[in-house]
């Protein structure tokens, strides 16, 4: 593949259009098409040339995407956390790991999950106690992870595990690529209070990892996990772009819709956890509360808050498209989303009253309002709690003094911690 970073927009547009006209075929299978697309360099054009890319900037990549959208061509696989895995491996993986894992991620042949949080160390990620011990040339993993989305159908997992207990906690973590289908890995879905089962707890009992699947150097797990989390926060709204398949006809579209339905099933309640601001005015009119001055005032506050959060997200996307480094928008946007969800929860309750607690066919919107009320707390937890985001903003953005800590400058085995 050729480096196209120095080409003009017109040259890029013409080349993509010519390639699509010669290659796009709706009768191909999804994997056949994505294999061809990956090998062309147009599937992930911002990636390096040696790894299925064209070394384009984000603004140049938007030209490529526009040509795909113009004819309805399917892109590389992006549902779930595939691209978090790809971004992490691309940044920190060695040549062999990139060669083995990047292409199957793009073609959709491999699915992934993120094995970070634990029962006793959710927000305190560096306090994880799942351990990996090197025995007879293999890493042996024992412990438990929780809140792992899509682990029940993942092929591989991004694992953060403790490999050294005699150094400060941030220095004793290492990062691995784990085969989720092997003996010693047990996955159990967790039923949520909104009735869904998106998350899983994962138990490791002498699960094995070959040394070649350790990412980076020993003890670099925290640094590598930060890369994964940075991409997670930066693409927090990315699921919305890939949550539906095309309504066009053809074999490849049928397979894409099937893939999306399978991969996005755990995320069907995510709009509700955001508060469903889009339903507020409709509900106020349906219930006659639209003319209530108190309700109207709360609706106005909510819409102002939501619009401000939207503008912040747009600034973050614009910065990304222009190739600027990640700013504070990720944490600010995450915290803003929590505030919007809580405000929406409050407004929906004002509008529907006690009926907001009802579920079933006779409840408001067939139970959607009730689902909003029990789903919105999740947005304040997932992807880093509100408290974590406030710490990040205060310390890294506002440059305020850090909170006093007594667990970062002594061996981790000496740090008091939760027993699980």
Output the tens digit of pLDDT for each of the chain's 420 residues.
Answer: 788 998 999 999 999 999 999 999 999 999 999 999 999 999 999 999 999 999 999 889 999 999 999 999 999 998 888 999 999 999 999 999 999 999 999 999 999 999 999 998 767 888 999 999 999 999 999 999 999 998 999 999 999 999 999 999 999 999 999 999 999 999 999 999 998 988 999 999 999 999 999 999 999 999 999 889 877 766 554 444 445 667 888 899 999 999 988 888 888 899 999 999 999 999 999 999 999 999 999 999 999 999 999 988 888 777 766 767 666 767 788 889 999 999 999 999 999 999 999 988 889 999 999 999 999 999 998 877 888 889 888 988 899 998 887 788 889 999 887 654
Give the residue extent of every domain in the chain: 82-234, 269-384
Backbone angles phi, psi at 135, to 5 degrees: -135, 125
CA distance readout (Å), 370 to 155, 361, 364, 379, 381: 34, 12, 8, 16, 19
Q: Are 340 and 273 in contact (CB under 8 A)?
A: no
Rounded CA separation 98/100 (Å)? 6
Q: pTM of this prediction?
A: 0.87
Rounded CA separation 420/417 (Å)? 9
Helix, strand or coil, per DSSP, at residue 328:
coil
Residue with tokens 């109207």: 296
E-only strand ranges, 191-296: 199-209, 214-215
Q: How does strand 214-215 pair with strand 199-209?
A: unpaired
Structure tokens at 131: 């351990």
Q: Are 118 and 145 in contact (CB under 8 A)?
A: yes
Query: Where are the alpha helices (H) located in 93-175, listed in sequence order?
Result: 95-107
Provide Rg for the chain, Cα atoms: 23
Q: Which CATH number fits domain 269-384: 1.20.140, 1.10.3470, 1.10.260, 1.20.144?
A: 1.20.140
* CB within 8 Å of 205: residues ≥ 6 apart: 142, 184, 186
Q: Are 157 and 110 in contact (CB under 8 A)?
A: no
Residue 226: which of 155, 126, 141 has the closest Cα? Answer: 126
Partners of 161 in the beta sheet? 174
In this structure, the number of other CB atoms found within 10 A of the CB of residue 400 comes to: 11
Please state which CATH class domain 82-234 belongs to. mainly beta
């Amino acid at each position: 593949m050729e480096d196209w970073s120095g080409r003009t927009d017109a040259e890029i547009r013409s080349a993509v259009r010519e390639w699509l006209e010669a290659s796009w075929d709706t009768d191909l299978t999804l994997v056949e098409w994505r294999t061809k697309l990956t090998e062309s360099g147009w599937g992930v054009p911002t990636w390096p040339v040696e790894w299925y890319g064209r070394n384009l900037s984000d603004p140049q990549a938007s030209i490529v995407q526009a040509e795909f959208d113009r004819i309805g061509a399917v892109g590389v696989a992006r549902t779930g956390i595939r691209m978090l895995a790809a971004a992490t491996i691309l940044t920190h993986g060695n040549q062999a790991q990139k060669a083995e894992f990047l292409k199957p991620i793009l073609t959709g042949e491999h699915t992934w999950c993120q094995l970070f949080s634990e029962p006793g160390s959710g927000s305190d990620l560096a306090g994880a106690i799942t351990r990996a011990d090197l025995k007879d040339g293999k890493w042996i993993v024992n412990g438990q992870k929780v809140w792992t989305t899509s682990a029940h159908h993942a092929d591989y997992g991004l694992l953060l595990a403790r490999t050294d207990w005699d150094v400060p906690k941030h220095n004793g973590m290492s990062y691995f690529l784990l085969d989720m289908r092997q003996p010693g890995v047990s996955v159990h879905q967790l039923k949520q209070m909104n009735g869904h089962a998106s998350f899983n707890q994962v138990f490791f009992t002498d699960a094995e990892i070959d040394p070649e699947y350790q990412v980076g150097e020993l003890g670099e797990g925290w640094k590598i996990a930060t890369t994964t989390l940075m991409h997670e926060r930066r693409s927090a709204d990315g699921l919305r772009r890939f949550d539906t398949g095309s309504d066009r006809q053809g074999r490849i579209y049928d397979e894409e819709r099937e893939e999306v339905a399978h991969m996005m099933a755990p995320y069907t309640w995510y709009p509700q956890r955001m508060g469903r601001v889009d339903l507020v005015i409709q509900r106020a009119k349906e219930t006659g509360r639209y003319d209530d001055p108190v309700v109207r005032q709360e609706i106005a506050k909510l819409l102002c808050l939501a619009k401000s959060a939207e503008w912040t997200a747009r600034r973050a996307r614009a910065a990304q498209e222009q190739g600027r480094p990640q700013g504070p928008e990720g944490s600010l946007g995450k915290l803003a989303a929590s505030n919007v969800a809580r405000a929406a929860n409050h407004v929906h309750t004002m509008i529907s009253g006690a009926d907001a607690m009802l579920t079933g066919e006779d409840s408001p919107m067939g139970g959607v309002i009730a689902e909003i009320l029990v789903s919105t707390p999740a947005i304040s937890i997932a992807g880093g709690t509100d408290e974590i985001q406030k710490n990040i903003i205060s310390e890294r953005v506002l440059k305020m003094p850090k909170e006093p800590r007594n667990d970062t400058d002594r061996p981790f085995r000496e740090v008091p911690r939760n027993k699980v």
